[in-house]
C-alpha cells in the first residue's frame, strides 16, 4: 500500500494535471472554468481516497460536511482548487500560476501527519518531507533580494500588513492562493506569509504540514496553534514565517488580534 505522504503527493499532482487539462481543452474561462475545475478535481480526489483509504473520513471545500469526521481517527482535508479565481484567469497560452491543490491528512492523536501542495502551472508538488520536481522559475514577481518579503493576499491583505513589513524591515508581496503564498516562503522567495482575511481548514492544512516540515513557524496571529478537524471549519488567520521573524511579527499581529 502507498504510504500516506506519498499518496498525498500523488493525488495532489494528479489532480493538478487534471486541472491543467481542463484549463487547456474545455474552452472555458473565468467563473465557469473555476467551477468546472473545482467539481472535477473534487470528484477525482474523493474517488481516489475512497479507493485507497476507504476507512478514512474526508473534509473537502467542495463537498457537504459529513460530521461523522468528528469521531474519525483519520481525516483527509482537501482543497481541490485553492485559488479558484486565479485558476480561472486563463486564455490559451497564458494564465496565472498562483493557484494550488491541497491534500492533507489529520490524525486524532498526532494532528497533521501528511500534506502535499501542488502548484500545477509551475510543474511542482511539495510534500512534507521533500520537494518533487523543482521548476526553473519561481512564483515571485522579480528575483529574490536581501530585503525581507511578506506575502499577503492580493485581494484581502490584513489591515496590519504594512506594520508587519515594517517590523521585519521588509516589503509586501501580494499573491493569489494560500498554497502559493505558503510555498513562496518554503521556496525562500519570501520570508513570511500573514493572513487575517478569513480562511477555512482546507485553505491552510496542507500548506502548514509542508511548511512545518521545512522548519518554518506556523500559528495563528495571536500566537496560538492552528487546530484542525473542528466542528466549525472556519480558521480565519495564520502566520507562516522563518523562525527569526516570529517575535517581530507576533508583536504586531497579536495587537491586531486584540491581544
Binding residues for Mg(2+): 61, 79, 82, 203
Cβ-contact 87, 34 below 8 angstroms: yes
Total H helices, total E strands in the chain: 7, 13
Residues forming the annotated binding site? Answer: 61, 79, 82, 203
Grid cell for residue 235: 480558521
Distance between CA atoms of 43 and 49, rounded to whole angstroms?
10
Distance between CA atoms of 211 and 90, rounded to whole angstroms?
28
Going along 83-170, which residue ranges are E strands?
90-91, 94-95, 100-107, 111-119, 124-127, 131-132, 149-153
Distance between CA atoms of 187 and 178, rounded to whole angstroms?
14
Per DSSP bridges, beta strands 149-153 and 192-195 are: parallel
Distance between CA atoms of 212 and 198, rounded to whole angstroms?
21
Distance between CA atoms of 57 and 77, rounded to whole angstroms?
9
Cβ-contact 55, 148 below 8 angstroms: no
Amino acid at each position: 500500500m502507498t504510504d500516506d505522504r506519498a499518496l498525498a503527493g500523488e493525488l495532489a499532482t494528479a489532480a493538478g494535471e487534471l486541472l491543467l487539462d481542463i484549463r487547456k481543452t474545455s474552452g472555458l474561462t473565468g467563473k465557469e472554468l473555476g467551477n468546472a475545475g473545482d467539481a472535477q478535481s473534487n470528484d477525482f480526489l474523493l474517488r481516489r481516497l475512497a479507493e485507497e483509504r476507504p476507512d478514512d473520513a474526508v473534509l473537502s471545500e467542495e463537498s457537504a460536511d459529513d460530521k461523522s469526521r468528528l469521531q474519525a481517527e483519520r481525516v483527509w482535508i482537501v482543497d481541490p482548487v485553492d485559488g479558484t479565481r486565479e485558476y480561472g484567469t486563463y486564455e490559451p497560452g497564458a494564465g496565472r500560476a498562483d493557484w494550488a491543490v491541497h491534500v492533507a491528512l489529520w490524525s486524532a492523536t498526532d494532528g497533521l501527519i501528511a500534506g502535499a501542495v501542488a502548484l500545477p502551472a509551475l510543474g511542482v508538488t511539495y510534500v512534507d518531507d521533500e520537494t518533487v520536481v523543482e521548476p526553473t522559475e519561481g512564483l515571485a514577481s522579480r528575483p529574490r533580494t536581501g530585503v525581507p518579503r511578506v506575502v499577503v493576499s492580493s485581494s484581502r491583505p490584513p489591515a496590519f500588513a504594512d506594520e508587519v513589513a515594517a517590523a521585519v524591515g521588509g516589503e509586501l508581496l501580494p499573491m493569489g492562493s494560500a498554497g502559493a503564498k505558503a510555498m513562496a516562503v518554503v521556496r525562500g522567495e519570501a520570508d513570511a506569509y500573514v493572513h487575517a482575511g478569513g480562511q477555512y481548514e482546507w485553505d491552510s492544512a496542507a500548506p502548514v504540514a509542508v511548511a512545518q516540515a521545512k522548519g518554518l513557524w506556523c500559528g495563528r496571529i495571536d500566537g496560538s496553534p492552528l487546530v484542525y478537524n473542528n466542528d466549525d471549519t472556519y480558521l480565519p488567520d495564520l502566520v507562516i514565517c522563518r523562525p527569526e521573524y516570529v517575535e517581530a511579527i507576533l508583536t504586531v499581529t497579536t495587537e491586531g488580534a486584540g491581544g
